[in-house]
């Protein structure tokens, strides 16, 4: 019996995303800036049985040195990209079961403001919020937009992120005791001052001294996700993440990442299954194998190579177009996205630039699954059985509901028949539906040590 999986929709507040196919006839993303566009999508995802909508964040855009490829603006490669946080409460008011994973960056944000935003959204969504913790891709442009002098080295970004998250955990778990809010009109006591604690933090990157002016929310700490499987990224994930997003096409490679993350969790005093792993996957369904392959080929023929290379440059920090097509990336280094680069580093067997450009068209690193509904369900099932991942992020292909329509109508029923999806879609807080257990952080998570009661 294949285990039950969780499913998320992989989106960004932009008219164009992973596939660079916004101009495909099936794509209708012109109204991406309207709430109505996202309300319609959220209703379809909720009715279809998705567990959550993931809203990625792009604070920067592809840039190398002082150059921004012209294709970035012309073909909308991460420009425009609006603020995903602004969408959540409107969508939470529109659908009452779907969960929301939203990216926020430890490079651009301030710990106090970040903690208050997620606590506010945890209340407004009744616990249906999760934080995808990133140090941010598109570092070159981001550094300029934030007025920073230079790109912070990769591993140092994770050290800074570690202190950032520790401070957030202390605010969420340690600032207010569970019964601090008394709301007693007779004694004009809103909260018991003895149970609301001043937090003092004086670290290498951040300082904090004061109360946390946000009352405890259903999960207190939003479900914590992370997306970055470099060595520093895995060490960070093993300490904090309850769920990790990966982009591995080969089930054997994914299986090694899953096993390594779980072993590292145990090294951090956590349970092996304390970390769920979700792989990003690009899915194309057709009524016949021929039709599906034709749809895939048609989609792959849609984006320009320049757009695909620009997106990859923003995510990895590597400009593929500056290399000869027969060269490889075997010896290349990056301070931006190391796991994005290592996708194409395999010593002597490393793919050439020409091969990489073919592979990243419409989907960067995750599995590309194409076929009839039956065959797609088979491929997803086999991938789970061989890799032990806990679920999938269905990647943006055509944009909007066009990405998900056939998957919801034709593949989900088969996954339910096979027991891979629950008959009744999951509800409750994000932690309960993705990790299981209660709404609060498990006692084995380092954040629990800040609790007073």
Which positions touch ligand FMN (CB under 6 A)? 56-57, 103, 132, 134, 136-137, 154, 227-230, 233, 245-247, 280, 337-340, 393
**Residue 151 or 199 having the CB closest to ligand FMN:** 151
Tokens representing 450? Answer: 């800040």
Minimum CB distance to ligand FMN, residue 44 (Å)? 21
Long-range contacts of 415-423 (CB under 8 A, 24+ apart): 415/5, 415/377, 415/380, 415/381, 416/49, 418/2, 418/377, 418/381, 419/1, 419/2, 419/4, 420/2, 420/3, 420/4, 420/5, 420/377, 420/380, 420/381, 420/384, 421/4, 421/5, 421/7, 421/49, 422/4
Minimum CB distance to ligand FMN, residue 56 (Å)? 3
**Residue 295 or 341 having the CB closest to ligand FMN:** 341
**Residue 376 or 394 having the CB closest to ligand FMN:** 394
C-alpha 199/C-alpha 197 separation (Å) is 6
**Residue 372 or 397 having the CB closest to ligand FMN:** 397
DSSP bridge partners of 278: 245, 391
Residues 6+ apart with CB under 8 A from 378: 371
Tokens representing 96? Answer: 């009452």
Phi, psi angle pair for 4, to nearest 5° = -70, 145
Minimum CB distance to ligand FMN, residue 134 (Å)? 3
C-alpha 66/C-alpha 264 separation (Å) is 39
Minimum CB distance to ligand FMN, residue 233 (Å)? 3
**Residue 214 or 254 having the CB closest to ligand FMN:** 254
**Residue 92 or 237 having the CB closest to ligand FMN:** 237
Minimum CB distance to ligand FMN, residue 387 (Å)? 15
C-alpha 13/C-alpha 80 separation (Å) is 8
Minimum CB distance to ligand FMN, residue 158 (Å)? 7
**Residue 172 or 312 having the CB closest to ligand FMN:** 312
Strands 199-202 and 207-210, by their bridges, are: antiparallel
Minimum CB distance to ligand FMN, residue 8 (Å)? 9
């Amino acid at each position: 019996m294949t285990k039950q999986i969780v499913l998320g929709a992989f989106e960004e507040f932009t008219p164009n995303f992973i596939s660079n196919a916004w101009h495909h006839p099936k794509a209708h993303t012109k109204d991406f800036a309207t709430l109505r566009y996202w309300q319609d999508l959220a209703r379809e995802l909720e009715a279809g049985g998705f567990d959550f909508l993931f809203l990625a964040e792009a604070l920067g855009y592809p840039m190398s040195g002082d150059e921004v490829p012209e294709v970035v603006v012309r073909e909308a490669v991460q420009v425009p990209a609006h603020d995903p946080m602004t969408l959540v409460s409107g969508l939470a008011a529109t659908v009452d079961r779907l969960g929301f994973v939203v990216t926020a960056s430890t490079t651009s944000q301030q710990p106090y403001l970040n903690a208050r935003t997620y606590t506010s959204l945890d209340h407004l969504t009744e616990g249906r919020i999760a934080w995808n913790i990133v140090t941010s891709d598109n570092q070159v442009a981001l550094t300029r937009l934030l007025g920073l002098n230079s790109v912070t080295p990769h591993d140092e970004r994770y050290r800074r992120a570690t202190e950032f998250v520790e401070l957030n955990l202390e605010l969420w778990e340690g600032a207010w005791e569970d019964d601090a809010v008394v709301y007693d009109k007779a004694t004009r006591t809103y909260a018991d001052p003895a149970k609301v604690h001043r937090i003092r933090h004086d670290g290498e990157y951040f300082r904090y001294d004061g109360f946390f002016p946000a009352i405890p929310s259903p999960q207190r700490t939003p479900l914590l996700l992370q997306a970055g499987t470099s060595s520093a990224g895995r060490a960070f994930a093993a300490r904090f993440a309850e769920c990790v997003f990966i982009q591995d096409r080969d089930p054997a490679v994914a299986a090694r990442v899953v096993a390594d993350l779980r072993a590292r969790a145990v090294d951090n005093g956590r349970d092996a299954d304390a970390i769920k792993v979700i792989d990003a996957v690009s899915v194309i369904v057709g009524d016949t194998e021929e039709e599906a392959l034709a749809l895939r080929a048609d989609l792959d023929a849609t984006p320009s190579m320049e757009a695909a290379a620009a997106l990859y440059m923003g995510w990895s920090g590597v400009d593929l177009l500056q290399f000869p097509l027969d060269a490889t990336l075997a010896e290349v280094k990056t301070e931006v996205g190391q796991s994005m680069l290592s996708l194409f580093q395999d010593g002597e067997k490393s793919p050439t630039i020409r091969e990489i450009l073919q592979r990243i068209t419409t989907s960067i690193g995750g599995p590309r699954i194409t076929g009839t509904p039956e065959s797609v369900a088979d491929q997803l099932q086999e991938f789970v059985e061989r890799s032990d991942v806990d679920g999938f992020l269905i990647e943006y292909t055509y944009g909007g509901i066009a990405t998900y329509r056939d998957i919801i109508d034709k593949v989900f029923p088969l996954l339910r028949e096979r027991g891979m999806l629950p008959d009744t879609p999951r509800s409750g807080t994000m932690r309960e539906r993705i990790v299981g257990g209660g709404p609060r952080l498990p006692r084995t998570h380092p954040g629990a040590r800040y609790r007073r009661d």
